Amino acid sequence: MFHETHTLLRTPDFVGETQYGTVNTDKYGLFNEKYLLQLQQKQLQREDYVRRKLRGEYVPSYKGYSKKGSKSYKIVNSDNSSRIEDLKRQIEEVKQERLRVIAEGERKVKDYMAQLKKEQEEYARETEKLRSEDERLNTQFLEEVSDLDRRLSQNVHSINEIKEHIEKHLSKTHKRNVVVSSIKVNSTKNQPH
């Protein structure tokens, strides 16, 4: 059955420009499976064509769409210089970001080194204080030990000296009938030789 009607029809062109035309509804029927498959195949070809063109690959032009001067042709074959400029801008942005990251890293390293140097100086000062204090305490300790040794050596008496001292003390106190027979020693100290 053949019907003619005036309707909007999308042509197979990439842009999909609309035109008024006489349409055979049997050929372009809404439920014509063969025609729908053809449209789908053409759409897939268009998408593949555009993707490849945008990637800069060589693609032989397909007859029936992408006519020179059409919007689709201009989009697909857009000015290469603008693409190049865009790429240059992106490269420059990456370079600037790289320089910024390097500068930031150098600043952090300098800050860390300054902090480390400050901590090392503080540690050196504290270590020097501890060494000085240790030397002072060692000297003081040795002096005290030496003084104790000197005083001990002055106060060391033999048993006989102690016995004589006690007897003299007893004679002075008028206790002459007391005789020292033994001396009990509670603790002993080693005498220096």
Please state whether the predicted TM-score (pTM) of the whole model is above 0.75.
no
Specify if 183 maps to a domain: no
Specify if 63 maps to a domain: yes
Residues 50, 105 within the same domain: no
Query: What confidence tier does 135 reach under pLDDT thresholds 50, 70, 90?
Result: very high
Instruction: Please report the pLDDT score of residue 2 as a whole number.
Output: 43
Could you tell me if residue 72 is left (phi over 0), alpha (psi between -120 and 50 degrees) or otherwise beta? Answer: alpha
More reliable by pLDDT, 55 or 16? 55
More reliable by pLDDT, 91 or 76? 91
Specify if 182 maps to a domain: no
Specify if 135 maps to a domain: yes
Specify if 108 maps to a domain: yes
Residues 99, 171 within the same domain: yes
Residues 125, 70 within the same domain: no
Structural tokens at position 28: 């372009």
Instruction: Please report the pLDDT score of residue 105 as a whole number.
Output: 92
Mean pLDDT across the stretch 43-54? 83
Residues 15, 73 within the same domain: yes
Q: What is the pLDDT of residues 34-45, one digit of tens each?
A: 878 888 888 888
- Residues 75 and 78: their CA atoms lie apart, in Å, by 5
Specify if 105 maps to a domain: yes
CB-count exposure of residue 167 (10 Å: 0-12, 13-18, 19+): middle
Out of 78, 111, 144, a domain closes at 78
Instruction: Please report the pLDDT score of residue 170 as a whole number.
Output: 72
Residues 57, 98 within the same domain: no
Enclosing domain of residue 131: 94-177
Instruction: Please report the pLDDT score of residue 103 as a whole number.
Output: 92
Instruction: Supply the mean pLDDT for the chain.
Output: 73
Specify if 70 maps to a domain: yes
Residues 66, 137 within the same domain: no
Residue 100 is given by DSSP the state H
Mean pLDDT across the stretch 125-132? 94
Mean pLDDT across the stretch 85-114? 91
Query: What confidence tier does 80 reach under pLDDT thresholds 50, 70, 90?
Result: low
Query: What confidence tier does 7 reach under pLDDT thresholds 50, 70, 90?
Result: very low
H or E segment at 41? helix 33-54
How many domains are contained in the chain?
2
Mean pLDDT across the stretch 85-96? 88
